[in-house]
Amino acid sequence: MNVSLFIAKRYLFAKKSHNIINIISVVSFAGVSIATATLFIVLSVFNGLQHFVEQSFNAFSPDIEITPKHGKIIPQNAIDIQQIKSLDNVEYLSGVLSDVAVFACEDQQFIAKIKGVSPDYYRLNRLDTIVNYGRFLLEDHGFSFAVLGAGVAAHLNCPISSSPSNTLKIYYPDRNKKLSAAVSVNALNYQTITPVGVFNSHTVYDVEFVFVPLSFARSLLGYETGYTSLEIRCKPTAKVSELQDEIRQITGNDFYVKNSYQQEEELFKVMQSEKWITYAILSFILLIASFNMVGMIAILILEKRTSVAILYSMGSTIKLVRRIFIYEGILISALGTLTGLALGFVFCILQICFGFIHFGEGSYILTAYPVEMQWNDVLLIPLVVLLITLPSAYLLAKKIYPKLTLQ
């Protein structure tokens, strides 16, 4: 039997002679519990938000994207596309020609990116499933059609038609003419096209992109060959990192080969930074809450001077007595952490089931805060709690005891 632990448990749960110690014990326990629960809940909300953003971008972004490090265009034959297509884990590859253009519909204008793709480009990420109005169609019986992002369609107020109407005009600078500070209409190429669908990915892409046939984009942008990017869909069983390495060996060092995370690296880095900054702030609050525990142990040392003197008379050492109060801190931290995790878990389950915490008034993609509990948080939070509270209990027992008890 561990004598120090046994006595520490008796000290913790036994009724104290001074009511103030009972109050401080409850306050210190509640402080650790509430801080732990808050930390768990906030991290779970950040996990839920990050998961939602990842799903939204993955529904639009390719698994792997190849872009040039220098210049705008991947020249013809600069990359052996057929060799990449022949790789075992490549399911689909499409060349893309994209650039910023001006879109006009009647008296409305908007600047966005024209994205010229193959007619079967929907295979990349099943983009036809996120078309919420009209359909994903780029070519039909020799006619070209456009699929607009929801934000672009809203700004242009452009009617969607299933038959050729050419209601959307797209302007792009003529690459064969020199532009001056005052751009004239004669220095611009423009073509008309029929909007046939509107997609909604719930990302910034909804106000950035308009899909058109690759041949239409080549005619407007003035590029007979080449692509601005190559986009790849991997097979479900593929390991993306390994496939990236295989593609890099084919493309060489003149091209970026990015996975879906790296394509939005800045966004995910910002989200991770926000998460860990919040984690640090809440850990600091937990540090403040641990001061209550330190105060409780200090008062407990004063109260138990008589009991400690009896232990000395029975042959106890200073080391054993110090461990009693260190274990006291461990017990408060452990029980507070377990209770806090339990409270946080119950709260997250209720939020998942009922979504009672909302974003508030306004137009949001999500109505309630998403929550995702992860095992690494369950393991990391107790570690942080113990790292904060245990040194406090140890230093208190070592520095203050036995001075207070032997006076």
Helix H or strand E segment including 320: helix 318-354
**Model pLDDT, residue 127:** 77
- Is 180 in the same domain as 318? no
Last residue in a domain, options 259, 287, 302 = 259
- Is 104 in the same domain as 218? yes
**Model pLDDT, residue 407:** 46
- Is 170 in the same domain as 318? no
**Model pLDDT, residue 227:** 94
* Phi, psi dihedrals of residue 200, rounded to the nearest 5°: -135, 105
Maximum CA extent, the chain: 104
**Model pLDDT, residue 185:** 58
- Is 77 in the same domain as 45? no
pLDDT tens by residue, 275-293: 888 888 877 877 777 777 7
Structurally, the chain folds into a number of domains equal to 2
**Model pLDDT, residue 96:** 95
Start-to-end CA span in the chain (Å) = 31
Question: Is 406 part of a structural domain of the chain?
Answer: no
Question: Is 407 part of a structural domain of the chain?
Answer: no
Q: Which DSSP string corresponds to 36-73?
A: HHHHHHHHHHHHHHHHHHHHHHHTTS-SEEEEESSSS-
Question: Is 283 part of a structural domain of the chain?
Answer: yes
**Model pLDDT, residue 16:** 57
92 three-class SS: strand
The beta strands (E) that lie in 106-241 are given as: 108-117, 131-134, 139-140, 143-149, 168-173, 188-199, 209-213, 229-234
CA 183 – CA 177 distance, rounded (Å): 11
- Is 48 in the same domain as 77? no
- Is 145 in the same domain as 17? no
Last residue in a domain, options 233, 259, 285 = 259
- State the residue range of the domain holding 321: 3-57+267-399
**Model pLDDT, residue 363:** 52
- Is 31 in the same domain as 72? no
**Model pLDDT, residue 404:** 44
- Is 23 in the same domain as 91? no
**Model pLDDT, residue 130:** 80
CA 283 – CA 26 distance, rounded (Å): 20
- Is 302 in the same domain as 384? yes
Question: Is 27 part of a structural domain of the chain?
Answer: yes
**Model pLDDT, residue 361:** 63
**Model pLDDT, residue 17:** 55
CB atoms < 10 A from the CB of 93, how many? 19
- Is 377 in the same domain as 325? yes
Last residue in a domain, options 239, 259, 279 = 259
Residues of the chain with pLDDT under 50: 181, 404-407
